Structure 1
Amino acid sequence: MERNMSCSYCKAIALRNGDTYAGEYFADKMQGYGVYCFANGHCYEGSWHEGKRQGIGMYAFRNGETQSGHWQNGVIDIPSSQSATYPVSPVAVNHSRVLNAVQEARTAAKKAYDVAKVDERVNRAVAAANRAANAARVASVKAVQNQMHHNVNSKSIPITIV
């Protein structure tokens, strides 16, 4: 699978359309925290629910501009405010809270990627141990068979002539 290296957090899944996603899944849909990078260079980092942007998150355009706040059903419904003391509206989300949530998403995505790498190493070690155990079983069976064959050939069978 090819990966989009323009976004350092999108290492987990490369999609057919050129987009990438690193984060949590449930029932084959993006769920929880994750980072989705579009092939055009835009990225969304934050919360997902049933494959749609849902909750606190930040959308970064390739020109460096960002749009952050609370997302509902894939669309931003409460933009963040830069000021903690004078928010744009009484329900506005503070920008620093969004940045903290995005940082948590980045950390979660990195941990998910690291866990996958560890799981891969563990699976390889288990497979190698299984191959070694099977080889030991085969060797022990052959040794027993050789011993039995040797014992049968070493016993003299009396010949009686009638």
Structure 2
Amino acid sequence: MSSVSGGRFDFDDGGTYCGGWEDGKAHGHGICTGPKGRGEYSGSWFHGFEINGVYTWPNGNTFEGQWSQGKRDGLGVETRGRWVYRGEWTKGYKGRYGARESKTTGAKYQGTWSNGLQDGYGSETYADGGTYQGQWVAGMRQGYGIRSSVPYGMASVINSPVRTSLASLRSDQESSVGEGAHEATPSQTNLQVSGARGGFVLNIFDEPPPKKKQAFLKRTSSIRKSFLSGLRIRKKGSGKSTTPSSISGVESTGTTSEYEMPHMVAEEIDANTTETYMGEWKNDKRSGFGISQRSDGLRYEGEWLNNRKHGYGCTTYPNGAKEEGKYKHNYLVHSGKKKNLFSVRYAKIKERVDQAVEAALKAAEVARQKADIAVSR
């Protein structure tokens, strides 16, 4: 094609270009439309490359901003479905700093990015108004941060077990946003825990161990009871649960009560109750050391794994009673309170609990520091 100053050009694939032209390349201002009118760029060109303009995809998504070597680079605004991103771009990806928010809810993320995903420090607000402030890695909460819920009656109900960050680019399936797509009705004074709610993981009642573990634990309990009975060292009431039955809802008897299967009772949570977690995160979940506390007084300090109490820690109940020891997936398997039997063993458990609580307090302090950095970005 010969060099001309401008005009209309039709390409073999059905696309067209109308605008400035120099040395066989788009130059100046022009509009390029894709085959059969699908997709369009309108703006400035420099020797065949987009410089600054608006690109509209066939599905209606748009980008308005700066380009370099055919890729979005610099400052720009992307509208993609119900999400709008405003910020910096690097070689075609969201990069360095920007804000992404929903046009239909209050969900948004503001902070640093890398390769199109939240990375570094940022603050996220969820559709129900809850927040996370802290560190991110590859679009997931990882490092140290603070998660604060809204009142329980307003918290989103989590219908999907798959949890990716509410405002994360990893979660473009907008009907299942993990931290909850549906708002709960705050009209009830007390709400029964029938499903998980955004920002809430603490529960007054222990969860039973996995089914595969239950048979083993029952066998272990039976063997220990026979052994202790043979030695005639059982004492009446010596093995009651360290958590009062009025709190735990678990009826326990015998010296090995910590291995008994609990009778699960649904907990009722006041609609105004809130929950805050400060500590370590991994793969978008509470993992490591940290502290979670509800406004009604329920508090756990210690080790976490995948949003569950796992490892050594201490639970404080609303009435002030404490339960401490080793947990597995929210279930207390070894108590640090017993002193009348195998005292050396329980002394070691108590020592591990104290160490875990201290580590959780330190992790919470680091989380506060990281949250301050995230908010200031």
TM range (shorter): 0.5 to 0.7
Question: 1 CA distance for matches of 2:343 and 2:299?
Answer: 25
Q: Is the aligned partner of 1:102 residue 2:357? A: yes
Is the contact between residue 68 and residue 98 of structure 1 (CA under 8 Å) also seen in structure 2?
Answer: yes
Structure 1 runs of 4+ with >6 Å offset? none
Query: Residues 113 and 94 of structure 1: is their aligned pair in 2 closer, same or farther, counting only changes over 3 Å?
Result: same
Query: Residues 59 and 45 of structure 1: is their aligned pair in 2 closer, same or farther, counting only changes over 3 Å?
Result: same
- Matching residue's letter, 1:21: Y
- Matching residue's letter, 1:94: I
- Matching residue's letter, 1:15: S
Is the contact between residue 78 and residue 93 of structure 1 (CA under 8 Å) also seen in structure 2?
Answer: no
Is the contact between residue 36 and residue 44 of structure 1 (CA under 8 Å) also seen in structure 2?
Answer: yes
Structure with bigger helix share is 1
Is the contact between residue 335 and residue 346 of structure 2 (CA under 8 Å) also seen in structure 1?
Answer: no
Structure with bigger strand share is 2
Displacement of 1:88: 5.1
Q: Is the aligned partner of 1:31 residue 2:287? A: yes
Q: 1:45 aligns with which of 301, 319, 341?
A: 301
Alignment partner, residue 14 of structure 1: 148
Alignment partner, residue 144 of structure 1: none
Alignment partner, residue 65 of structure 1: 321
Structure 1 residues 61-107: Cα deviation after superposition (integer angstroms, max 9, x where no partner): 12222100000011111001465x96458577532331221011011
* Count of residue pairs brought into register by the alignment: 114
Structure 1 residues 2-41: Cα deviation after superposition (integer angstroms, max 9, x where no partner): 89xxxxxxx9221242211111122221111111112421
Q: Gaps (5+ residues) in structure 1?
A: 4-10, 124-162
Displacement of 1:112: 1.6
The worse-fitting range, judged by mean Cα deviation, of 12-21 and 56-65 is 12-21
Larger-Rg structure: 1
What is the 5 A alignment of 1:113-132?
Answer: 113-121=368-376, 123=377
Instruction: Give TM-score scaled by structure 1 length.
Output: 0.59
SS in structure 1 of the partner of residue 361 of structure 2 = helix
The worse-fitting range, judged by mean Cα deviation, of 94-103 and 60-69 is 94-103
Query: Residues 28 and 113 of structure 1: is their aligned pair in 2 closer, same or farther, counting only changes over 3 Å?
Result: same
SS in structure 1 of the partner of residue 336 of structure 2 = strand
Structure 1 residues 102-146: Cα deviation after superposition (integer angstroms, max 9, x where no partner): 01101111112112213444x3xxxxxxxxxxxxxxxxxxxxxxx
Question: 1 CA distance for matches of 2:375 and 2:289?
Answer: 22
Is the contact between residue 60 and residue 67 of structure 1 (CA under 8 Å) also seen in structure 2?
Answer: yes
The worse-fitting range, judged by mean Cα deviation, of 90-99 and 41-50 is 90-99
- Matching residue's letter, 2:302: G
Is the contact between residue 286 and residue 308 of structure 2 (CA under 8 Å) also seen in structure 1?
Answer: yes
Q: Gaps (5+ residues) in structure 2?
A: 1-128, 132-144, 153-273
Is the contact between residue 279 and residue 366 of structure 2 (CA under 8 Å) also seen in structure 1?
Answer: no
Question: 1 CA distance for matches of 2:304 and 2:310?
Answer: 5
